[in-house]
Amino acid sequence: MPPIEQADIIIIGGGVVGTAIARELARYRLDVVVVERQPDLAMGTSKANSGILHAGFDAHPGTLKGELNARGNELYRTLEKDLDLDIRWIGSMVVAKDEEDRKVLDDLLERGRQNGVPGLEILPPEEVLAREPHLAPDITGALWAPSAGVICPFRATIAFAENAVQ
């Protein structure tokens, strides 16, 4: 790593975003330094999230997040191999507890389709309960998103940083 005053680019913050940017910039002939005020990487928000690789149905179409979420999810399939990440592609369900909730699922389905999320479907209560038998028996359905996954956010952040250095 170069002395900081000789760096071409200084990235402030060693969370998942800063380290992923450092990895991308490592492809170029640049001296890149990541500056982190905590004693280690992934000690900000990246240490305290739910670890979900969201499918992309929640973001509003037309926003940057709506445009990038499904693409980002897809890119993690390559990152999983390149960085030896332990991702569980378990899918996700948004479960409706009553008729009011059930209407929200239609909105999320439409948003997801506009955002290009693959494989979305609304499951009837009996199918949801067959998959998740410990849910309350009076649920009214669920939005099933097969492309969602879960990941360890610490390992992902550290993997981005290690690979940038390599």
Ligand X SMILES: Cc1cc2nc3c(=O)[nH]c(=O)nc-3n(C[C@H](O)[C@H](O)[C@H](O)COP(=O)(O)OP(=O)(O)OC[C@H]3O[C@@H](n4cnc5c(N)ncnc54)[C@H](O)[C@@H]3O)c2cc1C
Q: Which residues are catalytic?
A: 54
Q: How far is the CB of 148 from ligand X (least distance, A)?
A: 10
The closest residue (CB) to ligand X is 15
Task: Using alpha carbons, select from 31, 35, 7, 3 the residue that is nearest to residue 19.
Answer: 35
Residue with smaller CB distance to ligand X, 50 or 166 = 50
Annotate 9-26 with DSSP letters as a single string. EEEE--SHHHHHHHHHHT
Q: Which is nearer to ligand X, 40 or 103 (CB)?
A: 40
Scan residues 52-71 and list those touching ligand X (CB under 6 A). 52, 54
Report phi then psi at 50, rounded to 5: -90, -5
Q: Which of 35, 90, 104, 165 binds ligand X (CB under 6 A)?
A: 35
Other CB atoms within 10 Å distance of the CB of residue 124: 12
**Minimal distance in Å, beta carbon 152 to ligand X?**
12
